């Protein structure tokens, strides 16, 4: 560690005093925190180009003052509680961090900054949490992933020192092109794919390229809050289109919309699958209007009843659909790898935008994931997860029918959550959320479940919708959670 010590113009006779004084200031103003390791005397002497005896003399003074202490053989450290008079941390001099002038307090921000809920909104972890979109970490292929990481590092560690292609590792783009062709019916090539830091970064990249203040964007109502806020923050005007059991209705799309954001495979949050006629009508709208469709295929890896419909992008013959995919639901959000399948004219601009944002994705995880997909490990992992999640979904639906038969369940065909419609006498979703949380169970209304309702009245039935994510809970945990919910409702006459 190098300390910010300056000895310019110091004479030889007071070097020790100057060094001790500057270290003392660093400690007392809090820039050297209690318990921080000090540089070794030999190391600091070399940095300052002074003799080691000079540094040792300075350290001896500071030890005598109770500011630092030697812990053999570990080294020298700032004491946990420096022994000096006055406050434990002195105020910083104006030259360090001057307080902002009052006229600067109301800064003009370029973005109307809003964000979505990434973590469950609880002060502490709940024993039984139906948080939406969270995979079960217990099912992660840990040993195989560790093996892949080590294999990638052997002989390839130099890549850790290089920037990568902003478009993403070529091997991973090849693997993804093969995967989406087989599983989602998308005929594409690696050159049309850009690797992103999850779908969220993909949305931001597209907004940078396509949205200017005043651009009108049609969104499902309700819709994913993370997408809506990206569009709002870039100055778009949102045009909400109410969804029904068949998803968004293209016949209701406003003529002024330049872009449509949709989740056709498993509408978020209500779980509908966009019907084939509506998919074709949506493509016809884009062709006729010159608009763009953004398809968010966030959890399409999980479909349990029959064969899923191919992606909307698979029907795109006019290059009007931008497809967003992710590994956050199948592997884990902490991996931070998603991808876009783009129209030809947007590939190069997206790569430039990606380079400006963060240069590239980390190489190691891309390389491991490319091998994981190409060698069949990912397909095998998905089969295991589908089996586990289907069993959990079935158990949850059966448990709801048994413990809470008055709750109507929908959106169960695929994905990682079901939608529960509460009867009117049980109050709002927010009331049930609070009741469940008191019993250690996390359930979520649309507002708390990372979704956004636009122009929805206070007494709208959507206010009585709960989202239950079942992927991260096993059957025993689901049963216990539902039992607690039934007891909580029974103990609350107003909601029973």
Q: What is the three-state SS of 217-269?
A: EEEEECEEHHHHHHHHHCCCEEEEEEEECCEECHHHCCCCCCEEEECCCCCCC
Q: How far apart are CA 94 and CA 346, in angstroms?
A: 49
Asked whether residue 101 is assigned to any structural domain, the reply reads no
User: Mutual orientation of helices 363-374 and 142-153 as an angle, nearest 10°?
Assistant: 120
In this structure, are 281 and 364 located in the same domain?
Answer: yes
Q: How far apart are CA 166 and CA 357, in angstroms?
A: 10
Asked whether residue 235 is assigned to any structural domain, the reply reads yes
Identify the domain boundary among 319, 354, 375: 375
Asked whether residue 94 is assigned to any structural domain, the reply reads no
In this structure, are 398 and 369 located in the same domain?
Answer: no
| Structural domains of the chain, count | 3
pLDDT at 73: 85
In this structure, are 316 and 196 located in the same domain?
Answer: yes
Asked whether residue 428 is assigned to any structural domain, the reply reads yes
Phi, psi (rounded to 5 degrees) for 326: -155, 160
Which one, of 68, 75, 23, lies nearest residue 48 by Cα? 23
Q: In a 3-state reduction of DSSP, which class is residue 420?
A: strand
Task: Provide the residue range defining the domain that includes 34.
Answer: 15-78
In this structure, are 193 and 264 located in the same domain?
Answer: yes
Element (H, E) at 53: helix 52-64
In this structure, are 164 and 312 located in the same domain?
Answer: yes
In this structure, are 469 and 454 located in the same domain?
Answer: yes
Angle, CA 276 vertex, CA 393 and CA 245 arms, to 5°? 50
In this structure, are 370 and 440 located in the same domain?
Answer: no
- Record the pTM: 0.83
pLDDT at 462: 93
Which one, of 28, 26, 2, lies nearest residue 83 by Cα? 28
In this structure, are 319 and 342 located in the same domain?
Answer: yes
In this structure, are 279 and 420 located in the same domain?
Answer: no
Q: How far apart are CA 112 and CA 213, in angstroms?
A: 11
Q: What is the CATH number of the domain that holds 212?
A: 3.40.640.10
Asked whether residue 240 is assigned to any structural domain, the reply reads yes
Phi, psi (rounded to 5 degrees) for 382: -65, -40
Q: What is the CATH number of the domain that holds 434?
A: 3.90.1150.10
Residue labelled with tokens 């029918």: 401
Question: 73 preceded by cis ω (within 30°)?
Answer: yes
Asked whether residue 323 is assigned to any structural domain, the reply reads yes
Residues of the chain with pLDDT under 70: 9-13, 81-114, 117-119, 122-123, 493-496
Asked whether residue 213 is assigned to any structural domain, the reply reads yes
Say what the alpha-carbon torsion angle 476, 480, 485, 487 is, to the nearest 10 degrees. 140
Which one, of 264, 226, 215, 225, lies nearest residue 243 by Cα? 264
Angle, CA 198 vertex, CA 194 and CA 200 arms, to 5°? 105
Identify the domain boundary among 60, 78, 96: 78
Strands 259-262 and 292-296, by their bridges, are parallel
Asked whether residue 296 is assigned to any structural domain, the reply reads yes
In this structure, are 454 and 365 located in the same domain?
Answer: no
| Positive/negative CA dihedral, 403, 404, 408, 412 | negative
In this structure, are 162 and 217 located in the same domain?
Answer: yes
Q: How far apart are CA 447 and CA 116, in angstroms?
A: 10
In this structure, are 371 and 406 located in the same domain?
Answer: no
Q: What is the CATH number of the domain that holds 44?
A: 1.10.10.10
Identify the domain boundary among 78, 99, 115: 78
């Amino acid at each position: 560690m190098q300390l910010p010590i300056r000895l310019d113009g110091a004479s030889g006779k007071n070097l020790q005093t100057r060094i001790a004084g500057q270290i003392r200031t660093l400690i007392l103003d809090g820039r050297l925190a209690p318990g921080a390791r000090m540089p070794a005397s030999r190391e600091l002497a070399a940095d300052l180009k002074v003799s080691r005896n000079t540094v040792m003399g300075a350290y001896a003074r500071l030890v005598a003052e109770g500011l630092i202490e030697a812990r053999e053989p570990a080294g020298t450290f700032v004491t946990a509680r420096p022994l000096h008079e006055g406050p434990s941390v002195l105020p910083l001099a104006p030259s360090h961090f001057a307080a902002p002038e009052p006229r600067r307090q109301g800064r003009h921000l370029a973005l109307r900054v809003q964000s979505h809920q990434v973590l469950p909104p609880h002060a502490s972890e709940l024993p039984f949490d139906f948080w939406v979109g969270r995979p079960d970490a217990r099912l992660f292929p840990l040993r195989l992933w560790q093996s892949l990481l080590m294999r990638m590092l052997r002989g390839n560690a130099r890549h850790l020192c290089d920037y990568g292609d902003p478009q993403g590792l070529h091997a991973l783009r090849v693997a993804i092109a093969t995967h989406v062709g087989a599983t989602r019916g998308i005929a594409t090539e690696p050159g049309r794919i850009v690797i992103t830091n999850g779908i969220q970064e993909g949305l931001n990249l597209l907004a940078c390229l396509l949205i200017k203040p005043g651009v009108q964007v049609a969104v499902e109502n309700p819709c994913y809050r993370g997408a809506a806020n990206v569009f709002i923050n870039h100055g778009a005007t949102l045009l909400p289109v109410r969804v029904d059991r068949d998803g968004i209705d293209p016949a209701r799309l406003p003529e002024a919309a330049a872009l449509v954001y949709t989740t056709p495979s498993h509408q978020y949050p209500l779980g509908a699958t966009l019907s084939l006629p509506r998919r074709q009508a949506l493509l016809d709208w884009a062709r006729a209007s010159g608009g763009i469709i953004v398809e968010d295929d966030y959890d399409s890896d999980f479909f349990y009843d029959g064969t899923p419909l191919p992606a909307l992008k698979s029907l795109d013959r006019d290059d009007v659909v931008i497809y967003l995919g992710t590994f956050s639901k199948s592997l884990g959000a902490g991996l931070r790898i998603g991808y876009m399948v783009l129209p030809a004219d947007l590939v190069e601009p997206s790569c430039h935008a990606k380079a400006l944002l963060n240069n590239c994705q980390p190489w190691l995880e891309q390389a491991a994931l490319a091998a994981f997909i190409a060698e069949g490990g990912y397909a095998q992992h998905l089969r295991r997860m589908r089996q586990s999640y289907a069993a959990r979904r079935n158990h949850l639906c059966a448990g709801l029918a048994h413990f809470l038969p008055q709750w109507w369940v929908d959106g169960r065909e695929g994905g990682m959550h079901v939608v529960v419609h509460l009867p009117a006498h049980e109050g709002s979703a927010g009331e049930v959320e609070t009741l469940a949380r008191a019993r250690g169970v996390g359930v979520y209304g649309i507002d708390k479940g990372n979704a956004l309702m636009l122009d929805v009245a206070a007494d709208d039935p959507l206010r009585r919708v709960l989202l239950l994510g079942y992927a991260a809970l096993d059957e025993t945990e689901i049963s216990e959670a539902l039992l607690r919910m039934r007891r909580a409702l029974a103990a609350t006459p107003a909601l029973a």
